[in-house]
Amino acid sequence: MTATLVPHTPSDTELVHSGAFDARQLVASLPQAVGKLKPRDQARNPVMFVVYLGAIASTILAAASSSVFAWLIVAWLWFTVIFAGLAEAVAEGRGKAQAASLRKVKRDTVARVLTDDGAIVETPGSDLHVGMRIVVEAGETIAGDGDVIDGIATVDESAITGESAPVVRESGGDRSAVTGGTVVLSDRIVVRITAEPGSTFVDRMIALVEGASRKKTPNEIALNILLTALTIVFLLAVLAIGPMQGFAGQAPDPVKLIALLVCLIPTTIGALLSSIGIAGMDRLVQRNVLAMSGRAVEAAGDIDTLLMDKTGTITFGNRRATAFHPADGVSTTELAAVAHRCSLADETPEGRSIVDLARDEYQVTTGDDSGATVVPFTAQTRMSGVDADGHSFRKGAADAVEKWCGRLDADVRSTVDEISTRGGTPLVVATKTGLRAHVLGVIELSDVVKPGMAERFAQLRAMGIRTVMVTGDNPLTAKAIAAQAGVDDFIAQATPEDKLDLIRAEQSGGRLVAMTGDGTNDAPALAQADVGLAMNTGTMAAKEAGNMVDLDSDPTKLIEVVAIGKQLLITRGALTTFSLANDLAKYFAILPALFASTYPQLDALNIMRLHSAQSAIVSAVVFNALIIIALIPLSLKGVRYRAASAADLLRRNLLLFGVGGVVTPFIGIWLIDLLVRLLPGMG
């Protein structure tokens, strides 16, 4: 049997999701760009609004006194306005393609709502409200965003995240959140709805990528003010040229003056500014990150300090019980039995792993704890367990258990230090009857640093970003993991208050801080941080507190978010530099040609030896329009970002885009002039 390989042509949606740029997008977006010629749309961009008015005025003037030169200027001025709208139209078109693919996820599903009396009532997904409980079984689509409150299941989230591998969603753990539109592949879960119809993450992503919720950022507004001021300055300068020409005995030509104004004002960055911002948000969406505002994306580019949780971020996070270390005089079976009893009500993955280890390795079975009082884990006590029959059973951090029972024996303390030194997590098990406490031993939990983390932190260090690992582990464990991962600093035994205090301390020194989190106890710090990346599988409190949500729930993605933010700022700065440098070159192209007949001395500045005043002006206007469309791919893809210091990046961009912005117009205008001079009326 032979196989025939058929070349695959990517669809528009595939191109969008891959981040690629294709020339077909320009052609497909042309009708939308033409539709932006309405005065209301043009008035939103002061720079291009001046070009728009200039095109209208030139059209009227050309109609009054027709000439080849005037109509060429008119044609290319309108092309300039359309090309400026084309940049934004392409960016918006990519968003609409993403929105179309996301809308396929939204289905009018029927949910099976669990009532208070245990009955199941079928209800349209559009009628679900916060707090309702729905039952979802294998093969069914989850009708709305929510948290799993009962059961465990594998879920296909490929429609949302693009990842084909199914994920596990379970009650009680860190992976309890589910997104509407995803499909349950196995088992049965009960989901509590956490979002009203129209306010789900898919709805918010659709609004984001279509630009409906995008507002201009402070940096964008500031740059718009600068560009407007430059436009006003050049407008006044060009208005003054007419009387100067009249004083010199040369009749001013309004069409030439309009062309001069269009070439001198910063039309390149004015045309591309909006598309740069839209594309930056677009790159985040491609990585399944939902940004609540463009301000957060820009802040990510200026981050100075990065706070990251150890578990699930720097390490894999699936810490499991790997061994029981009994104290002197205690059998391993006795330790396993008490550890098992302390963990029966512990729904965390660590707690379940302790139950599994005790059952599988030591044949510990579940006793009758119906009358026991469960003591849940809290960030303040850092212990959990049960109280039954006048006895208290606890497992938790060594220092917390020591405070609870009074002391730790030397052998137990030695075991704790040994486990911590090799990067494991020790949990001490103890019992108390009345005032008499007895330490039984230590449970060893093991975790592994994710591969490549040291290299990624080295890249952040090269960017000038300080990395801090935050963990609830003891100092010895934290130190071992921090050394292995290569972070700059760490905070051990951190409480929610410690995280908040650290962020405030950093910000008081004028530094911007980013952090990740997924729990309710992370919400205050996420709200305080300049960039708070909440996990989609985390609690609603965390997602509401952060200004970004990662639908993949990958805490290490914060590193990519920082790179995207820096790329957006660099792209905007690079194209602004290029645009202003362009204006300088076009100044030398037009002004000598415009005044050479009146002031022959200015002919020395005509270093390109352009054919005539008419051909020079037409060539500059044509170049001005073409350079916009040539830079659309760069504005959408972004300038390539490399991990380097701010000084190195500034030096590189000044050389590349500053010098390039000066040289390119000289070459481009000269080449266009070679063609334009062949047209009639260019003598």
Pair of tokens at residue 418: 């040994």
Phi/psi of residue 649, each to 5°? -65, -40
| Residue 377, annotated as binding a ligand | yes
| Residue 462, annotated as binding a ligand | no
Dist CA 495 CA 481 (whole Å): 18
Cβ 386 vs Cβ 373: under 8 Å: yes
Cβ 302 vs Cβ 321: under 8 Å: no
Cβ 635 vs Cβ 26: under 8 Å: no
Cβ 83 vs Cβ 104: under 8 Å: no
Q: Could you give the angle at the alpha carbon of 143 between the alpha carbons of 140 and 146, nearest 5°?
A: 110
| Residue 378, annotated as binding a ligand | yes
Contacts of 613 (CB under 8 A, 6+ apart): 256, 593, 594, 596, 597
| Residue 38, annotated as binding a ligand | no
21-30 CB contacts, 8 Å cutoff, 24+ apart:
21/633, 21/636, 21/637, 25/90, 25/93, 25/94, 26/86, 26/90, 26/629, 26/632, 28/93, 29/86, 29/89, 29/90, 29/92, 29/93, 30/82, 30/86, 30/89
| Residue 598, annotated as binding a ligand | no
| Residue 350, annotated as binding a ligand | yes
HEC readout, 255-272: HHHHHHHHHHCCHHHHHH
Tokens 């990046």 identify what position? 649
Q: How far is CA 582 from CA 215, 222, 587, in A?
A: 28, 21, 9
Q: Is 64 exposed, middle or buried (0-12, 13-18, 19+ CB in 10 A)?
A: exposed
Verify whether residue 411 is a known catalytic residue: no
| Residue 109, annotated as binding a ligand | no
Please tell me the number of Cα atoms within 13 Å of 255 on its side-chain side.
25
Task: Specify the DSSP element, H or E, that contains 660.
Answer: helix 660-676
Cβ 550 vs Cβ 237: under 8 Å: no
Q: Which residue(s) pair with 126 in the sheet?
A: none
Dist CA 650 CA 539 (whole Å): 40
Catalytic residue among 309, 473, 550, 673: 309
| Residue 614, annotated as binding a ligand | no
| Residue 111, annotated as binding a ligand | no
Neighbours of 18 (CB within 10 A): 11
| Residue 383, annotated as binding a ligand | yes
Dist CA 91 CA 271 (whole Å): 12
Nearest to 145 by CA among 101, 172, 171, 177: 177
Q: Which residue(s) pair with 133 in the sheet?
A: 114, 192
Nearest to 133 by CA among 199, 211, 194, 68: 194
Phi/psi of residue 618, each to 5°? -60, -40
| Residue 400, annotated as binding a ligand | no
For residues 181-191, b (16+ Cβ closer than 10 Å) or e, as one string? bbbbeebebbb
| Residue 504, annotated as binding a ligand | no
Nearest to 47 by CA among 73, 79, 80, 75: 80
Q: Could you give the angle at the alpha carbon of 218 between the alpha carbons of 214 and 223, nearest 5°?
A: 105
| Residue 14, annotated as binding a ligand | no
Specify binding-site residues for ATP.
Answer: 346, 350, 377-384, 395
| Catalytic site positions | 309
Specify binding-site residues for Mg(2+).
Answer: 518, 522
Specify binding-site residues.
Answer: 346, 350, 377-384, 395, 518, 522
